[in-house]
Amino acid sequence: MRREPPQTLGDYSPLLFPAAMLTIFFVVPFGTMIAVSFFQRQQGGFYTTAFVFDNYQRFLSAFFGGVLGFSLMMAIAVAICCVVLALPFTYLLTRMARRVQIVWLVALLSILSLSEVIIGFAWSTLFSRTAGITNILVALGLMGEAKALTPSFAAVLTGMVYQAFPYTVLVLFPALVRLDPTLTEAARTLGASPLRAFFTVVVPALRNTIVATLIMVFIFALGSYLLPQLLGRPQHWTLSVLITDQAIYQSNMPFAAAMAVFLVLVTLGLVALTVIAGRKGEAA
Amino acid sequence: MTSVFRKFYFFLIALFLALPLIVVAGVSVNQKQTLAFPPEGFSTSWYGEIFLNTEWRNALFASVTLAVLSAALAVAIALPLAWFLWRRVAPWANIFQLLGVAPFTLPPVITALGLLTFWATAGFYGQPWTAVVSHGIFFVTLPLVTLSLGFTSIDRSLVEAAATMGADERTIFRTVVLPLILPYIVSGYAFAFVLSLNEYIVAYMTVGFTMETLPIKIFNALRYGYTPTMASVTVLFVSTAALIFGLVARFGDLPKLLGAMASDQK
């Protein structure tokens, strides 16, 4: 049956429920948030309708600029670590037997679905003095005595890489699975070592995929909210933490909304970049 | 040589991924109420605690109820939309697909804050059902993606044959389309269910003060120190997720669902 344009009004009826739900509970809340970002805060928790730029101005202060800078830097570090770790891994995984692939995919999905709370809890246990990895190092005689590794920047980074790694693999998976195996075979026949074939054939062929993945993991990491709180110090807090803090604990909805709108703009800019990178990939 | 290198590399990745879970599993069977690792003694009482302690049991019940209902809502939104996009030529309708994917693409705090402002403005802030709607919208992406994939795999000549034989739209959907699409409905539901079970920030910002889901309960409990019950909840959650995704893989084509081409690839 070919696809046909809707002929009668009744043909549109399947669209009614999804369109209404997405409009009322996604578009309207989004619009509300943008509107609130221009509202005036009122002492005592609520806000009054207004059209002011105060919230945005406040956001452009040195403190919040610093937080934004830190959030972006953190997300970049996570994206780079993840792609460097996951690219060869995913490539090798796609060359393995289907059965092995499925076991890994199930494991990766399970970890991906783990709540940030749980990941934070697990790593803070692992980094703790009483139940942590330093105990293993002590047992192996590599360390004098057990110590706590949190809170620290390295702990936040580890937790976030852990959280984003399965996501990275799953983003890379389709592109790598579809990669023409004859490409590397040709290189191998011509005498290239597997490692050389990987870096001179696979990586350049996937340049656009890699760029797109870096951006997607970056956005994913930008959303991290609990790990900086559970594994880091207040100076390691990201924009997501501050938004929630302002919205829930400071009851400053307009300011939280302004920060969120700003975060959307940054994200959308990056999504646009991903799309452009993807288009170029298709053209190549 | 390269095979040894590859095995070592895969071992390190597996270790990295498994290490937190191993430690948590160890902690969860501790005899005393401390976070000792390696565990001191062996006891499964912390698993019993999830079901015996009223607070943990309520949180578990809240999480499961939320996940069951919100995943159903996500499928109810995604199915007619994906079907319409497959059946009809209506380019402007793609905007709804874009809207369906957006909540999952943006940092979650944004969707959460949008919904918080909305529920607060509408005067429903804190009602348990708002969490169901919020999660349903937030996770609509997952069934939408699996269902769009499912529809593209339907051979249109099958549908055409049914139409030629005189079946009307409704009958075709019930007897041809639905059975073919069912595995994709189930996996879309499963993905949304597992993610809803573990979701924190949207639930917290919409009903955090009135309803405690398990992730919220764990986070709140973290403030007063660590208990082995959290570890046992973690183990329970990972096992549930692994079981559900394992079933999806067993009865469906997981690599294909995750974007690989047809199953004759390997």
**Which chain A residue has its CA at the smallest distance from B241's CA?**
A110
Q: How confident is the model at residue A270 (pLDDT cuts 50, 70, 90)?
A: confident
Of B93, B106, B260, nearest to A267 by CB-CB distance is B106
Tell me the CATH number at A209: 1.10.3720.10
In a domain, A6, yes or no: no
Cross-chain Cβ contact A121/B226 below 8 Å: yes
In a domain, B264, yes or no: no
Q: How confident is the model at residue A18 (pLDDT cuts 50, 70, 90)?
A: very high
In a domain, A23, yes or no: no
**Residue A278: per-residue pLDDT:** 67
Answer for the pair A4, B90: CB distance below 8 angstroms, yes or no.
Answer: no
In a domain, A5, yes or no: no
In a domain, A7, yes or no: no
**Residue A59: per-residue pLDDT:** 73
A277 contacts chain B (CB < 8 A): no
Interface of A with B in 194-223 (CB under 8 A): 194-195, 219, 222-223
In a domain, B29, yes or no: no
**Residue B37: per-residue pLDDT:** 66
B199 contacts chain A (CB < 8 A): yes
**Residue A45: per-residue pLDDT:** 56
Residue A284 has pLDDT above 50, yes or no: no
Cross-chain Cβ contact A117/B215 below 8 Å: yes
In a domain, B205, yes or no: yes
Residue B233 Cα, gap to closest chain A Cα (Å): 9
For the stretch A203-239, pLDDT in tens is 888 888 888 889 888 888 888 888 998 898 888 888 8
For the stretch A245-269, pLDDT in tens is 888 888 888 888 988 998 888 888 8
In a domain, A35, yes or no: no
Tell me the CATH number at B158: 1.10.3720.10
Q: State what percent of residues in chain B have pLDDT above 70.
A: 94
A146 contacts in chain B (CB < 8 Å):
none
Residue B65 Cα, gap to closest chain A Cα (Å): 17
In a domain, A198, yes or no: yes
Number of domains in chain A: 1
B255 contacts chain A (CB < 8 A): yes
**Residue B158: per-residue pLDDT:** 85
Q: How confident is the model at residue B34 (pLDDT cuts 50, 70, 90)?
A: low
For the stretch A25-60, pLDDT in tens is 999 999 989 988 888 776 655 677 777 777 777 777
For the stretch B182-236, pLDDT in tens is 988 988 998 899 889 888 889 998 888 888 999 999 888 887 777 788 888 888 8
* Average pLDDT score, chain B: 86
Residue A155 sits in which domain range? 52-281
In a domain, B193, yes or no: yes
Residue A104 has pLDDT above 90, yes or no: yes
In a domain, A248, yes or no: yes
Residue B249 has pLDDT above 60, yes or no: yes
Cross-chain Cβ contact B237/A25 below 8 Å: no
Residue A83 has pLDDT above 70, yes or no: yes
Q: Name the most confidently modeled range: A179-193, A200-214, B23-37, B103-117.
A: B103-117
Cross-chain Cβ contact A128/B76 below 8 Å: no
In a domain, A134, yes or no: yes
More confident residue, B144 or A118: B144
* Average pLDDT score, chain A: 83
Q: What's the pTM?
A: 0.86
In a domain, B141, yes or no: yes
Q: How confident is the model at residue B14 (pLDDT cuts 50, 70, 90)?
A: very high
| ipTM of the complex as predicted | 0.83
Number of domains in chain B: 1
**Residue B265: per-residue pLDDT:** 37
A122 contacts in chain B (CB < 8 Å):
20-21, 23-24, 234
Mean pLDDT computed over A179-188: 78
**Residue A25: per-residue pLDDT:** 92
Residue B187 sits in which domain range? 53-254
